[in-house]
Amino acid sequence: MCGIVGYLGVKDSIPIIIKGLKRLEYRGYDSAGVAVLDEGQLCTVKQAGKVKDLEAALIESPCSGRIGIAHTRWATHGEPNDVNAHPHVDQTGKIALIHNGIIENYNSLREVLKQQGVSFTSETDTEVLVQLISTIYQQDNLSFTMSVQAALQEVVGAYGIVAICADEPDTIVAARFGSPLVLGIGDGEYYIASDASPIVEYTRNVIYLDEGELVTITFTGYTIRKIAEDNIVTKEITRIDLSVEEIEKGAFPHFMLKEIYDQERTIKDTMRGRLLLSEGSAHLGGIQDYLPRIEKVRRFYITACGTSWHAGLIGKYILEEFANIPVHIEYASEFRYRKTILDGNTVVIAISQSGETADTLAAIRKAREQGALTMGICNVVGSSIARETDCGVYTHAGPEIGVASTKAFTAQVTVLLMLALLLGRRRGLSLDTGVALVNALDSIDQLVRHTLDQANKIKQVAKENQQADNFLYLGRGLNFPIALEGALKCKEISYIHAEGYPAAEMKHGPIALIDEKMPVVVIAPHDRTFDKIISNISEVKARQGRVIAITDKCCPELERISDFIIEVGEMHRIIFPIVATIPLQILAYHLAVYRGCNVDQPRNLAKSVTVE
């Protein structure tokens, strides 16, 4: 989704903010722009398209200045064109604003402003906000900071904003409500961004703004205040644990491929220091203090979106199986708006890579209001969901830059397995079963390595099926969510229509689609449903479908009815879904590359969905 970066310091801001925008490209966007202040003059350049198009525009219309703000926009109000791109400038030409989020009451504000003689050039909600700030600034004789603050009190919706004003050429004002902002504190230099990635190569010292906070940055320091109460707040500086290497793709052609390969290490990182081999259990420090309450609750809810929801579905299966607790799972966008029956006897688990997904955040806020205990499973340290939940577990998969989630998913499932193990052992799971699970988890990296070694074979499968218009993914039990995840990966990056189904459901409808042009990916380990899945594959084959089987080991039955077989190795059935996800990620990746798609930034998608 939209990205923000700003700089105030001794250097020319343009190279810093342009580099910052490149670091933020992964979030998904369709236009970009900058505004700088140079000796009291405001200069703005903005452009539909990519950051490289903006760079070209800056060669045509160069500008420089020690204060600069920059934005990548993911269109919500108004199509992605030059006019709707940020920054937006007020009608006096003095104030520039960039904005993430949505101003919900922008229509009524716009009408009021129009009546006061303001004319608008764009269709955006953001322009309404900058004109509102400007009107207050001109009419009420307030400082720039106070004008921004006053305008924000009239706004309904979500925002992360950064603004500059030619009349106060030593000041940046930024504020957040619903969209994250991080302040980077360097040596006489300050950075403001929607996440830490544009900041990390300059400073590790940051402050995460909390909801409803506004910061004024000048060459002599910064002041943070609450927008509503107008009181100054003192906040701790946090050291971020993120290296530049982690946000670069190195020798890999795409971040997604790098992140797929990262999994050999990241799944282990998720478990580091958490597995208790002799006790057949796990230690999860972030929920330790809440365990006496958690283990006694009557039910769990899991809420999430997209890929994280698929991890949650596996979580439901394994928590019910090992910890013997009823688990409901629900899309956060549904959970937040319907009547839910929650109380102190419920744990609501929110799963989110970014920790910023608007619907998931709203769901946990609702859960807290209803008295449930909330637990976050997040990848981004210090993210909103991580901070707003009562307790939680970080996935420690490292920064995920590719828009399609890969390593975060396997890390989420790994955390859920450890949670099921930990709660299971406290609720009657036998030591032997626990030890077997821990041993399985502990040896997973070898299986991941073995699976990654099949990449060329999977690439060949992609090559031979790249022309397909549709794919079907089938799995049973724990591997049904993997079928959903495989289908999602396929459609989001290769734009091939794909559906995931429980294998037995196929004959209740989707079987009508099968013909010789339809590749059907079947997740087929030798577990207790193997015979059933063989029957499902036979039904596909009988209709000339092309079968791509993902299995633990090859066998004559599978060979007889499959067109392609990917073998991931024999393992405990409980870790199979994690390992079997990897060939599906690789398949989607190569399908996308063969079809010439933008793998890391698929069209219309955003990495962090901070609007509902």
Residue 368 structure tokens: 């807290």
Residue nearer to ligand F6R on the CB measure, 488 or 503: 488
Q: Is 609 an interacting residue with respect to ligand F6R (CB under 6 A)?
A: yes
Q: Is 395 an interacting residue with respect to ligand F6R (CB under 6 A)?
A: no
State in angstroms the smallest separation of the CB of 78 from ligand F6R.
23
What is the C-alpha separation between 603 and 593, in angstroms, rounded? 14
Taking alpha carbons only, the member of 65, 355, 402 closest to residue 259 is 402
Residue nearer to ligand F6R on the CB measure, 397 or 488: 488
Residue nearer to ligand F6R on the CB measure, 429 or 611: 611
Residues taking part in catalysis: 2, 607
State which of positions 242-281 bind ligand F6R (CB under 6 A): none
Cβ(357)–Cβ(332) under 8 Å?
Answer: yes
Among 84, 91, 352, 451, which residue sits at the site for ligand F6R (rule: CB under 6 A)?
A: 352
Tell me the window of 6-14, 24-32, 347-355, 537-545 that interacts with ligand F6R (CB under 6 A). Answer: 347-355
Q: Is 306 an interacting residue with respect to ligand F6R (CB under 6 A)?
A: yes
Q: Is 357 an interacting residue with respect to ligand F6R (CB under 6 A)?
A: yes
Is the bond leading into 87 cis (omega within 30 degrees of zero)?
A: yes
Contacts of 168 (CB under 8 A, 6+ apart): 143, 144
Tell me the window of 91-99, 349-357, 430-438, 552-560 that interacts with ligand F6R (CB under 6 A). Answer: 349-357
Helices (H), 119-211: 125-139, 144-152
CA dihedral over 604, 357, 269, 428, signed as positive or negative: negative
Residue 338 structure tokens: 């319907």
Contacts of 89 (CB under 8 A, 6+ apart): 35, 42, 44, 95, 96, 97, 130
Total length of the chain: 612
State in angstroms the smallest separation of the CB of 26 from ligand F6R.
11
Q: Is 581 an interacting residue with respect to ligand F6R (CB under 6 A)?
A: no
Tell me the window of 97-105, 255-263, 351-359, 459-467 that interacts with ligand F6R (CB under 6 A). Answer: 351-359
Angle among Cα 543, 548, 554 to the nearest 5 degrees reads 115
Q: Is 353 an interacting residue with respect to ligand F6R (CB under 6 A)?
A: yes
Q: Is 384 an interacting residue with respect to ligand F6R (CB under 6 A)?
A: no
Q: φ, ψ for residue 397 (rounded to 5)?
A: -85, -5
Determine the residue with CB nearest ligand F6R: 306
State which of positions 489-528 bind ligand F6R (CB under 6 A): 492
Among 197, 263, 307, 610, which residue sits at the site for ligand F6R (rule: CB under 6 A)?
A: 307
What is the C-alpha separation between 482 and 311, in angstroms, rounded? 9
Q: Is 308 an interacting residue with respect to ligand F6R (CB under 6 A)?
A: yes
Q: Is 600 an interacting residue with respect to ligand F6R (CB under 6 A)?
A: no
State which of positions 464-493 bind ligand F6R (CB under 6 A): 488, 492
Cβ(600)–Cβ(402) under 8 Å?
Answer: yes
Q: Return residues touching ligand F6R (CB under 6 A).
A: 305-308, 352-354, 357, 360, 404-405, 488, 492, 608-609
